[in-house]
Amino acid sequence: MRALLRFLHASGRLRFDLAASVVGPGLKPDRNPPKALPWSQVRKILRAVDRGTRMGLRDYSILLLMSL
């Protein structure tokens, strides 16, 4: 969002630079996001994909590669 607002301001489409008004997510310094999902949740996600369609096979392949 910030990059879009900077671009709009630089190209003259926005009168004021609003990029500084976009606030990022409030993460506490001592709290990091989890490194990975538990394997039980990964299996549930993989089982939920409909592999009967081409898009389902594509999605399953992507998720399977991400789980390695």
Residue 45 located in a structural domain: yes
Return the pLDDT at 14.
92
Return the pLDDT at 57.
95
In this structure, which amino acid lies at residue 52?
A: G
Residue 7 located in a structural domain: no
Mean pLDDT across 23-33: 75
Task: Please indicate, yes or no, whether the overall pTM of this predicted structure exceeds 0.75.
Answer: no
Residue 64 located in a structural domain: yes
Q: What would the two tokens of residue 16 be?
A: 């004021």
Residue 4 located in a structural domain: no
Q: What would the two tokens of residue 33 be?
A: 């996001």
Q: What would the two tokens of residue 68 be?
A: 């390695």
Q: pLDDT > 90: what percent of the chain?
A: 69
pLDDT score of 30 more than 90: no
Domain region containing 41? 35-68
Return the pLDDT at 63.
93
Return the pLDDT at 28.
73
Return the pLDDT at 37.
85
Left if phi > 0, otherwise alpha if psi is -120 to 50, otherwise beta: which for 12? left
Residue 29 located in a structural domain: no
Residue 17 located in a structural domain: no
The number of distinct structural domains making up the chain is 1
Residue 30 located in a structural domain: no
